[in-house]
Amino acid sequence: MSTIAFDTVRSHLAPRLRQFGLPVRVTLPEGATFDLGDEPLIVLILRKPGILRRLLLGDVVGLAAAYVAGDIEVEGRIEDIIEVGILLAGRLGKYGRLGRLLSHLPRLPRQHSKAADAAWVRYHYDVSDAFYALWLDQRMIYSCAYFENGDENIDRAQEQKLDLICRKLRLSAGERLLDIGCGWGGLLEFAAERYGIEGVGITISRNQYDYARRRIAERGLDEQIEIRLQDYRDLPADDQFDKVVSVGMYEHVGRSNWPSYFATLWRLLKTGGLMLNHGITTTDPRGGSRGPAGGGFLDKFVFPGGELPHISRVLQELARQGFDVLDVESLRPHYAATLVRWVRRLEAQEAPAVQLAGEGRYRIWRTYMAGCAVAFARNWLSVYQVSAGKCAADGMLRRPWTRRHHYVDDVLPVLAGALDWEVPSNL
């Protein structure tokens, strides 16, 4: 940038930008700096002159893309960087009102073919098992953890989440459990060791498939657990399971395929069986997004093909299949806490993370996880566990009277003889 151009920025643009009180120091390509507010929390180092235009427009997606490409360096704590990004979008965005309007409109459905879904999933998950191992827990669980007091480390919180799922499903020894989108196999491993189930896990990620099979064998569980490289649409029509679980999977299914996805859960579940679906939702009832426009960044760099429903759409699809919905629990604060721990662990392993996955991938994951932590904290995104049952033809379903079995040890054996409903004879 020439001296004349910088003088223009300093004399005309900077004073106008300072009225917004943004805690940002901007360093231009030739080294000149100016502040957009008092006591800057972050420093934006612009490597190319064209990036200044994106800054002036409050183009958060464009700025994030420039950061991934290395055209911007950002100094400061990640939480401050995300907060400033939100302020930029809200205060500087030239098309802010239009952007807020468009963000509430559902995006056009994508065509989720098997080939497209496999490519999108492998883009995100087939990065490097070692990269994920740097910041995930010991069981490689890549979904919202569960906190009982908020002080737990990620390993403890993830074990608590796995146990909560097993309790909600009321797993018992010898039952057959299907895990749709099993990731690196951690839930099946936990359920086999702690609850004695037999299980099948499916994934379309080659890395996850290879890792899960190897880990299951190493733990001596290969006679209890089968891992398949398989699309949920290819599960045999006559395969039946006592319990079905899906964690962080339906976000990849696509709006156009949600009916067939939930129909598959119904078809595979035995009469009287239970299922649990755990996944992220938008908090916009119309299926749009909330908060600053960050969907373009996620679509391009993080979760290509991802689409989120509102929780009402999930319940609607379950009802269409005939499921009896038993429990709906929001874990929104838990995901914000999970993401904060992931980001901290990733930042602490920056050097090996860059070596394993590259500088761009490190920057993408750091940015998206920190941004999503804010989105969950501010109620722009949520996450729900929904458990449901497949009733018999007469509408009956064996169940506990209360939710105590979710949390209290040894409650199921005590209640086992009192779970069946009795229909009064005078009805």
Task: List alpha helices for 9-113, DSSP H.
Answer: 14-18, 51-57, 60-69, 78-92, 96-103
Between CA 387 and CA 329 the distance in angstroms is 9
Name which of 277, 308, 331 is nearest 145 in CA terms.
331
**C-alpha 352: how far from its chain's center?**
24
Contacts of 130 by beta carbon, 8 Å cutoff, 6+ apart: 356
Q: Which of 144, 182, 372, 391 is catalytic?
A: 372
Per the CB < 8 A criterion, the answer to whether 128 and 357 are in contact is yes
Query: For residue 46, with 0-12 CB atoms within 10 Å meaning exposed, 13-18 middle and 19 or more buried, which class applies?
Result: buried
| Residue 38 to residues 14, 20, 22, 28, 248, Cα–Cα distance (Å) | 13, 11, 8, 18, 42
Per the CB < 8 A criterion, the answer to whether 280 and 303 are in contact is no
* Tokens standing for residue 354: 């860059």
Active site residue 391: no
Between CA 291 and CA 409 the distance in angstroms is 41
Q: Active-site residue numbers?
A: 372
